[in-house]
Amino acid sequence: MSVRIFGHYVSLPLVLLMLVEAAIHVGAVYLAGTLRYLDIHFVIYSPSGDYGWLLPRALSYALVMLGVMTAFGLYGSALQKNDREYQVRFLASYPAGALVMVIIFYVIPVSFLGRGIMALSFLFSFILTVLARVVFFGIVDGETLKRRVLVLGSGSRAAEVEALLSRLGSRAGFHLVGFVLCGDEQPGRDKSKLLGDCNALRSLVAQHRIDEIVVGVRDRRNGHFPMAKLLECKLEGIGIVDLLTFFERETGYVQLNSLSASWMVFSEGFSKTGLQKVLKRAFDMCVCGAMLVATLPIMLGAALAIWLESGRPILYRQKRVGESGQVFEILKFRSMRTDAEKDGVARWAKKNDDRITRVGKLLRLTRVDELPQLINVMRGDMSFVGPRPERPPFVHDLSRRVPFYTSRHSVKPGITGWAQVRYPYGASVDDAAHKLQFDLYYVKNRSLFLDLVILFQTAQVVLFGRGAR
């Protein structure tokens, strides 16, 4: 089950989990203060003797823990409760949160909580969060919160819903009840889920307690499309959604093989207002300014390592295609040999590419090679979040071979993006087509909220090294 926040689809159970855990973190600070002083305290005293309200400090603690746990991927749907990786990340998030809190105390002394309260806060929030997640997984792994879905149609497009359910497994937010024949379509591979034909749609919906109908019919002009039946269901409060929108919501990408220009024209999204541009630019300047200051020592170290291993140039300049098809020069730390493309032919980077230097391999793994692009963002060539810019020869080739490819150029390219955090590193035409599906989702639903989501997920990618090549 999903809810839409500023255009972006978010899992409702995960939103509820975050709210519950936010309350747990705030409550843990108050519980720690009460036990520490054996009294209910709403103020806290600093070592200098000054005092302040406890609530702002409790909220700061909750925000830090939610941010760290998000960066560790603990609010994503990919990890399961029995995953060893999930357990390791969960345990590691608390020492990481403690480190962040110590840094905050050092930078902002007035936010001081005290060693005793901090230790008890972490203990209580850890225990209560574990209990909350045991209950959460017990509910979500069942069918309680899942929508009961009926697919109108039984052909190849409708069968894609069944294939999606197989891929998602227990992470799916829906339960596929069955299919309904419509017109002269042939039944898909699983005939056991065929419930009847569209003439009995209303009674089938009532009989099987359907929450939502997914329209998976390819041809709606042959006179067999049951518009009147669908209207009856709609008026009864049953959700009606087309296949493309269903996939967009459940997967976080726009399904390319079913995409049409008319769907893009009439669907919500793809907005670009003056206020959005101002907020986007302000977000870029704030994030990039902070990152330039924070990563300056890292960039100086990277420059020195490149120079010691293979000399100059330190930076690699390369032409890329940006917003509205404009070509600009991107900056990166050089991670390949100086003769990587001595014949002048543009090539995709591949796995275990022998052109990558030893230092370059580390820079790519940690994403440090991308840091000079902060200058591109400050210049206005790029945004911090957006589709990754490609080289002109690749764009020329992909525009001919991949439908709607140029749609990604309607916004500024970014250092990181929805495709980068949701899809592994791509180095082929097929990969470009898959990544385009995520880029189109971003272009359609872009907002400051989605940028923040991507920013946190990028931290997870950097921390755990997914997708680097």
pLDDT confidence of residue 386:
93
pTM of the model: 0.80
pLDDT confidence of residue 145:
67
pLDDT confidence of residue 141:
61
Does the pLDDT at position 134 exceed 50? yes
User: Does CATH number 3.40.1440.10 belong to domain 147-251?
Assistant: no
Per cent of the chain over pLDDT 90 is: 25
Mean pLDDT of 443-469: 78
Per the omega criterion (within 30 degrees of 0), is the bond before 109 cis?
Answer: no
Does the pLDDT at position 90 exceed 50? yes
pLDDT confidence of residue 469:
43
Mean pLDDT of 186-214: 82
pLDDT confidence of residue 125:
92
The answer to which of 23-32, 147-156, 163-172, 271-280 has the lowest mean pLDDT is 163-172
Kindly indicate the confidence band of residue 418, based on its pLDDT and cuts at 50, 70 and 90: very high
Kindly indicate the confidence band of residue 459, based on its pLDDT and cuts at 50, 70 and 90: confident
**Better-scored residue on pLDDT, 23 or 424:** 23
pLDDT confidence of residue 467:
46
The answer to which of 152-166, 304-318, 371-385 has the lowest mean pLDDT is 152-166
Q: What is the C-alpha separation between 7 and 453, in angstroms, rounded?
A: 12
**Residues of CATH 3.40.50.720 domain(s) within the chain?**
147-251
